[in-house]
Amino acid sequence: MNELTILATLASVHWVALMSPGPDFALVVQNTTRYGRQTGLYIALGLSCGILLHSILSLTGISYLVQQHPALFAVLQLLGGSYLLYLGIGALHGLWKSRHNKKRNDHETHPQKPNYLLSSKRQAFSRGFATNILNPKALVFFVSLMSSLVPVGMSMAAKGAALIILWGLSLLWFSLLAWLLSSPRLQLKMQKAAKYIDSVCGIVFTLIGFTILLNSVTDITVMAFS
């Protein structure tokens, strides 16, 4: 298999994986719906940079070493699961709080307008980056992807091209998703369904985070008694 074929296969597999529902997808949908296009685009940039770092770590073998050391991988699972659980509980708590404030404001002469804006572009970028880089499933995916498709003897130019492709496709997909979701007509419809989107995304983050934490605790328990 020549290097062009390898790169084309790598791009195809990665593109399919990007479109699969998961924490990254849910993060873009939830925040673009709630905060608008600019926030969605900065989250897309953060996610794509997280994917780039995962790709570099996998290509250099660092991620493989982490995966092969149960204690290190368990720590990553604890961090990743805790962060996703934090996002999920935060989304559900925010939804409950907004409903509570709405009921309270209905009885006030001058209701307070809720502030749904993230504090900065940096926060949006950081949230996207952290969500991807702390996801242990992403680490396993890129280790598997690189080890199965990128041969050891592949040229440095081709490896560099692989990194650019993975980063570029990620940025393209998440930016496109944020752009489409924030079109004026669709944004109006999405805003009406914002509470349902927040609920679904909150549940998704909570379930994934809880599952990762449960796996981590199980692995740590097995290591402790082995």
**pLDDT tens across 77-128, in order?**
888 888 888 888 887 877 777 666 655 555 454 444 444 445 578 899 999 9
Q: Are 136 and 77 contacting, i.e. CB atoms less than 8 angstroms apart?
A: yes
- DSSP letters, 10-36, are HHHHHHHHHHS-SHHHHHHHHHHHHH-
Q: How far is it, in rounded angstroms, from Cα 191 to Cα 208?
A: 25
Lowest average pLDDT, out of 35-49, 156-170, 174-188, goes to: 174-188
Average pLDDT over residues 169-183: 93
pTM metric for this prediction: 0.80
% of residues, the chain, pLDDT over 70: 89
Q: How far is it, in rounded angstroms, from Cα 95 to Cα 98?
A: 5
- Domain range annotation of the chain: 3-106+114-225
At residue 1, the pLDDT reads 64
Q: Which amino acid is at 189?
A: K
